[in-house]
Structure 1
Amino acid sequence: MQAHRSILTLTALSTLLTVSACTSGADTSSGSASPDALKLTSTTPAATGVLDEVTWNLPMGEPITLDPAKVGDYSPNTVEANLCDPLLRLRPDYSIAPGLATAWHRPDAKTLVLDLRKDVTFWNGNPMTATDVVASLSRQREAATQSVNAQVLASVTTIKASGDHQVTIRFKAPDELFLKYLVNGFGAVSEASYLKKAGSDYGTPKGGLMCTGPFELSGWKSGESITAVRNARYWDTSLRPKVKKLTFKFITDSSTLTSALLSGQVDGSYEISSTVAKALRASDAGTLHYGPSTQTVFLYPMSGSSPLADHRITQALSLILDRDALVKNVYDGAAQKLKTFIPSLVWKKSEAASVYAKGYDRLPAVPDVDISKAEKLVAEAAPKQRTITVAAAAGDQQSLQILTFLQAAAKKIGLSLVIKQLQPTQMSGLFYDPSLRQGLDATIVLGYVEIPDPLSYAVLFTSPDSPLNWVRYSNDEVTALQRQAQATLDPDASAELFVRAQALYTKDLPVLSIASPYERLFLNKRLSGAPASFAYINMPWAAYLGGTGETAS
C-alpha cells in the first residue's frame, strides 16, 4: 500500500482545527463560542484593492525547507503553496480542479495521461514543458531527494514525456490515489534545469526555488522572515495577486502573536489558538473566521506493548471522555465530535460522497460517558500495567488540557495517565526514530489529511507495512479491501470497498478519536479574500488576498 506523505504534525503552541459543512459568515462575538453559534465558511468576501505589502504569521515556526518534494507540515506548506503550482488544484471546498494540467484521461486502467498548459512560464521567463514535469515527479523516487512522497510512486513503472506538453504515467496496477496526490507538493512542478543546478540546496535559503506560482521567492532571512513578491506574469489571470509583497514571520508565542495581530504589526494568520481567538473576538482590529477542516486529534499507542494497543482500553477511555465538555472548555466550542479519526470533509466533495456518507452513518455513534461499561472493558483487558505515559508537545496548551481532562477521568476506571512533555523536534522525531518512543505508551496526534480521499489516511494505521502502524495492527480482510479499493478506478466501487474496511477497523483499531477542531483564520480589517477552510494548506491562498479599502488601526 502507498503510505501518505508526512501529514502528522506535532508542534508547540498549535491549535488544530477540523471539519464540518460549509455555510457563510464568521463569528466575531466575544465570550465563549458555542458550536451552534459558529458559522463556518470556506471563503471570505472577495478582495477589492491592491496592497503594497502584507505581513503574515506562521504560528508553527520557521520552515526547514520549501522544496515541494519535502514539505509536509504547516509552515512549509503555507508558504510553498503560493510559490509552486501543482498539476491539479485543490478548491476551498476540498474538491479538485485543473492546475498546471488542463485535462487527464486513462487509455487503460494502468495508464494516466496528463495534458499540460501551454501558456505557463517559470519566474525566470522560461516555458514549462513536459520535461519539467517528468523531472519534478521522477526525482521523488531518488533517495537523495528525501521526498516525503516517495511511496506515492510505489506502483509507478514509468513517467515519460509523450509530447512537449503531455506526460504519460504507467503503473504496475491501477491506482486511484495517484491522481489525487497531484494537488499537493508531490504534484508541484519545478524547472528541471534549476533542480539540477541547485541539487541538495533546492528549497533552502541558499538554493532557492524556480516554480510557476503566483508569488516568487525573493528572500529568506533565517530566524527572521521569508519574503515573496507577486508574479505579474502569472498564467492564471484570475489569480494574479493583489498583494505586491508578502512577508512571513515566525511568531510561536501566543501572547506575542496576540499583540502583533491586535496592533497591526501582523496582518493575518491561520491556525489561531483558542487563547488567541478569545482576545481577537473582543477586538475590532479584524475578523476571526471559522472554516471547515480535515484536521484531526486522536490518541495513538506507541507500540504493541502499550496498554492502549488493546482496543478494549482505548474503548474504555472513549467511554469516559466527555467530548461535549471537552469541545466547550478546550476548543471554546470551535470543534466537533467524530465517529472515526478521518474527518468528513475528506470525502464530502468526492464523486462518491453519498457512498462515504452512508458508510459513515452506519458507524457506531460517538458514545456517551459510561463509567460502568468502561470499568468492565478494563477488567476484561486486564492490562499488565495500568500506568500509561503519553507524549505531548511542551507549550501546546490545548493538547495538555485534553490530556489533563482525560487523566482525571481515567482515575475513575483504575488507569493512571502520566503526561510527558517533549520539545517540538522530539515530538516530530517520534514518527521517524523508534528510539525516541522508548518509555512512552502513546502520543496525542495532531494530524491532517491532505488529499480528498479517506483511504490515503486510513492505510497509515491499518496497513501492515506502514511505518506508522506502530502497534502492528493486522486484519487480513481490512488489508484486502483497502488494496482492492486503491486498485479500483470506479469512484463508487472504490468507496464501497473502503467503507467495508472502515466498518471492520473501527471495531478493533486501537485509536481514540478525540475531536476535530475547525479552522481559525484571522484577517486584519484591511484584508479579505483568503480561503477560510483548511484547503489553504495546498492551494495558492495568498493569491486571493487583497484590500478591503479600510486601514488598519
Structure 2
Amino acid sequence: MPSTPATAGSRTAVRPLRRFAGAVLAASALLVTAACSGTAHPAKGSGAAAAYRLTDKTPAAAGAIDSFTWSIYAEPTSIDYAYAFDFPPNQILSNVCESLLRWNPDLTTSPNLATSYANPTPTTWVYKIRPGVHFHDGTVLTANDVVASLRRHPDPAVGSAWVNSFRNVKSIDTTGPLEVTVKLKKPDSTFNKSMAASPGTVESAATLAKAGKNYGSPKGGVNCTGPFSFASWTPGQSLVLKKYDGYWNPKLKARSGQIKFVFLSDATTRVNAFQSGEVDGGWMVPASAYGQLRSSQAGKLYFGRNTTVADEVVSNLKGPLKEARVRAALLMAIDRKGIVKAGAGGIGEVADSLVTDNMWSEAPAATRKALTKEMTRYPYDPAQAKKIAAQSGVQGRQVVIATSPLDSQTTIITQAVAQAATAIGLKPKIETLSAEKYGTLFTDPAARKGIDLFLTFWYTSITDPLDMYSSLETGAFTNYGGWSDKEYDKAVEQAVGTYEPAAHAEANAKAQKIALKELPWLPLYTQPVSVFLGKRITGVQPSIAYLYYPWAAEIGAKS
C-alpha cells in the first residue's frame, strides 16, 4: 500500500503500504458495463442494467508490439521479492521473477519452476525443479538457487514481509541436483499454496550474494527467470522491463519488446494519460473515471476476479468497542450499500464476510451451502443498532476513527462510519493522518494508541480463507487490536494442520463463524479488480493474480 493509507498482510513483519493503497477512487454513482465475457453483477432494481461484468480474458493479441507504457500509482521502495507485499512492486515483479508454483488468473494453482511436488509425510514437501531454465544473466537454475531464495524469508537479518509463511519450517535443503526438500515442524496446509506467491520466488543465489544490500534497488535490480528482465529504473519517474528471449515457457513468451512503468500518483493525471494515449493502460482505475473511461475512444475498461474486502479494523478492544454487541451495532448502522454507490462508483457488493466467496472454491459443496445458510449477517438497521448499543451503556463515549485525505473513497467511508457511530450514540472523532503515518498503523503498535478504528483493503495471496483468518490468531502481527478467542485459535490451528479438503474447509468455517460473531474487524464491501487497456493493446486477463502471474507477457497488438 503505497501512496495511500496502506495495510499489511496476513503474514507478519513489515507489510507497509499494502492492502489499502489500491484504488484511488472517488465519489461516483455511475453504473458500468465493461466486459467481453464472464459473470454479470446486476444492479438492484427493476429494469436496471448490469453494474459490472467480470471478464476472464480480454481479446487475444493479434501480434507482437515493440513496447507499451503502463501507469502505476506509486513508485516501489524496492523490488526485492522478500519485501514485495504491495501493488506497485508486485505487479512489476510478477513479470520478471517466478515462483515454484503459479497462481493463475482463475485463482487455481499449477506447477511452474517446480515441475511437480509431493507431500510424502505431513511435515515434508519435496519439489522437483524444472531443468533447462535460465536466469536473465544466462546462468542455469539449480536447486541451490531455490534453497538460497527460500531461506531468506525466515532469516531475521533479511526481515522478510513473508516470514510468517515460514513459521512452521524446520529446514530447506537440496536433496538432489534438481530437488529441494522442505521439512516442517508440524503440518501446515498453507505452506505449499504460498509457493505460488512471493514466498516461493526464486532468484539466482550468486546474484543475491553479489548484490547484497543493493538487491532490488534501482542500482542493483534483480536477475530472475521471467518473460521480462529488469532493464532500468529512473527514481521518481519510471522503471523499464525488456523482453527476455531465453524464457523457458513458450506459452508465456512476451509479445512486447519492452514495458515502461511510469509512476503517476495523481488520479486525475493517470486518467488524463489514459485518455490522451500517453500511457497504454493501468490497474486500479479511479472509480470517479469509470463513466468517462466506459465511453472513451481511447480504450476499454474491464473488471476481473478479486479477493479484496474493505474492512474497518477495530484496533482498540478496551474502549467503547470492547463488547462484540457494540461492534455489531456499529456495523448494522453503517450504510454499506451507500458506500458502494458513492465511494466505489456502484461497482462492488456489501461484504457479509472477511473473505470473498471465491476463497471457498476448494471446499465441498455441502460446506459452501452450510456457510451461506449459517452466516451471521448484519443488515442495515440504525434504529435497532441504537437499541443494541444502548444495552452496553456506551452513549456519549468517544470513538477515534483514523483516516488519510488521499482519495474521496476513503473520505466517504470514514464519514459513513462516523455517521454510524453517531447513530448508535457514540461521539466520533476523525483523526486525519498523513499517508506515511497511516502506514505505521500496520507496522507499529505505538502508532495505534488512541485509535479505535482504521480502514484497510485486505486481499489474500492464496485461494484459501485461512490466508485471512490466520491473521487474527492470538499474537499474530496482523491482529492489530490484540483480539483473542481460544475457540477461534483452535479452529485456525486445526485448519493449518489439516490437508484433507473437507476437514480443512470445516475448520475454516468454524473460524469464520466465530470471527463474524465477534467482529474483530468489520467487513464493509468487496469490489472487482479494474484495468484499463488503451486502443493499441489487448490480451490481459483481469484478475488479482496479476500480483504474481506474468500478465504483461500476454499483452500485444490489437488486430
Q: TM-score range by the shorter chain?
A: over 0.9
Q: Which moved more, 1:355-364 or 1:121-130?
A: 355-364
- Change in 2 beyond 3 A, CA 1:430/1:406: closer
Task: Describe the SS at the equivalent of 1:38.
Answer: strand
Question: Amino acid of the residue matched to residue 223 of structure 1?
Answer: G
- Are 2:409 and 1:398 equivalent residues in the alignment? yes
1:213 to 226, 231, 247: 226
For the pair 1:4 / 2:14, whether they are aligned, the reply is no
The CA deviation at 1:42 is 2.6
Deviation at 1:374, TM superposition (A): 0.6
Checking the alignment, whether the CA contact within 8 Å between 2:243 and 2:258 is kept in structure 1 is yes
Amino acid at match of 1:380: Q
Which residue of the other structure, out of 477, 493, 497, is the alignment partner of 1:483? 493
Query: Which range moved further: 380-389 or 137-146?
Result: 380-389
Partner of 2:556: 546
CA shift in 2, pair 1:435/1:523, >3 Å: same
Correspondence 1:277 to 2:290 = yes
Cα shift readout 1:419-447 (whole Å, capped 9, x = no counterpart): 22222221211111122223321101122
Contact 2:36–2:55, Cα closer than 8 Å, also in 1: yes
TM-score for the superposition, normalised by structure 1: 0.92
2:139 aligns with: 126
Q: CA deviation at 1:355?
A: 5.2
Which residue identity lines up with residue 208 of structure 2 in the other structure? Answer: L
Deviation at 1:537, TM superposition (A): 1.3
Match of 2:522 among 512, 525, 529: 512
The 3-state SS of whatever aligns with 1:227 is strand
The one-character-per-residue Cα deviations of 1:333-371 (angstroms, maximum 9, x if unpaired) are 2101221111122232x3x25355234313436433222
Kept in 1, the 8 Å contact 2:305–2:543? The answer is yes
- The aligned amino acid for 2:454 is T
Amino acid aligned to 1:425: E
Shift of 1:384: 7.6
Paired amino acid for 1:71? A
Give the superposition deviation at 1:467.
1.6
Tell whether 2:432 aligns with 1:421.
yes
* Corresponding residue to 2:458 among 447, 451, 468: 447
Q: What are structure 1's unaligned runs of at least 5 residues? A: 17-21
1:402 deviates by 1.5
1:434 partnered with 2:434: no
Q: Within 5 Å, which residues of 2 pair with 1:67-106? A: 67-106=80-119
Letter paired with 2:231? S
Match of 1:373, SS state, is helix
Q: How far does the alpha carbon of each residue in 1:49-72 deviate from its partner, in whole angstroms, 9 at most, with x for none? A: 21111110112x000110111100
* Distance in 2 of aligned mates of 1:136 and 1:498: 30
1:36 to 28, 41, 50: 50
Hey, what's the Cα distance between the residues in 1 that align with 2:288 and 2:483? Answer: 37
Tell whether the 8 Å contact from 1:26 to 1:40 is kept in structure 2 after alignment. Answer: yes
TM-score of the superposition, structure 2-length normalised? 0.91
- Please say if 1:330 is aligned against 2:343: yes
**Structure 1 residues 228 and 98: CA distance shift in structure 2, 3 A:** same
Kept in 1, the 8 Å contact 2:390–2:424? The answer is: no
SS of corresponding position for 1:500: helix
| CA contact 1:274–1:332 (8 Å) conserved in 2 | yes
Distance 1:114 1:389, change over 3 A: same
1:127, CA displacement in angstroms? 0.5
Q: Look up the match of 1:175.
A: 188
Matched, 1:527 2:534: no
Alignment of 1:306 with 2:313, yes or no, is no
Answer whether contact 2:11 2:478 (CA < 8 A) is retained: no
Which residue in the other structure is 2:127 paired with? 114
Query: How many pairs does the alignment contain?
Result: 535
Give the residue type in structure 1 aligned to 2:350: K
Task: Check conservation: 1:102, 1:116, Cα contact below 8 A.
Answer: yes
How much does 1:226 deviate? 0.3
Helix, strand or coil at the partner of 1:55? strand
Task: Output the CA distance in 1 between the equivalents of 2:155 and 2:49.
Answer: 47
Q: Give the deviation of 1:305 after TM superposition.
A: 2.4
Q: Deviations over 1:361-417 (max 9, x none)?
A: 134364332223211221122238622221123212101112212323432322233
Q: Aligned partners of 2:18, 2:218: CA distance in 1, in Å?
A: 25
Q: Which letter does structure 2 place at the counterpart of 1:87? A: L
Aligned-partner residue type, residue 217 of structure 2: T
C-alpha distance in structure 1 between counterparts of 2:121 and 2:39, whole Å? 46
Report the alpha carbon displacement of residue 25 of structure 1 after superposing the two structures with TM. 5.6
Residues 35 and 93 of structure 1, relative CA distance in 2, 3 Å threshold: farther
Q: Quick one: distance in 2 between partners of 1:406 and 1:509?
A: 15
Q: Which amino acid aligns with 2:393?
A: A
- Do structure 1's residue 317 and structure 2's residue 317 form an aligned pair? no
Q: Compared with structure 1, are the counterparts of its residues 382 and 269 closer, same or farther at alpha carbon in structure 2 (3 Å cutoff)?
A: same
Q: Secondary structure at the match of 2:106?
A: coil
Residues 435 and 37 of structure 1: CA distance in aligned 2, closer, same or farther (over 3 Å): closer
Please list every run of at least 4 consecutive aligned residues from structure 1 whose deviation after the TM superposition is greater than 4 angstroms.
Answer: 32-35
Q: 1:4 to 1:525 in 2, by over 3 A?
A: same
SS across alignment from 1:141? coil
Q: Is the 8 A contact 2:395 2:424 kept in 1?
A: no
1:536 to 546, 553, 556: 546
Match of 2:64 in 1: 50
Alignment correspondent of 1:19: none
User: Which one of 386, 390, 393 corresponds to residue 379 of structure 1?
Assistant: 390
Question: 1:168-247 alignment to 2 at 5 Å?
Answer: 168-247=181-260
Query: Could you say which residue in structure 2 is the equivalent of 1:500?
Result: 510
Query: 1:35 offset after TM fit, Å?
Result: 7.8
C-alpha contact (below 8 Å) 1:473/1:509 kept by paired residues: no
> Are the equivalent residues in 1 in contact too, given 2:395–2:426 (CA < 8 A)?
no
Which letter does structure 2 place at the counterpart of 1:464?
T
Runs of 5+ unmatched residues, structure 2? 1-8, 27-34
Structure 1 CA distance, aligned partners of 2:412 and 2:67?
37
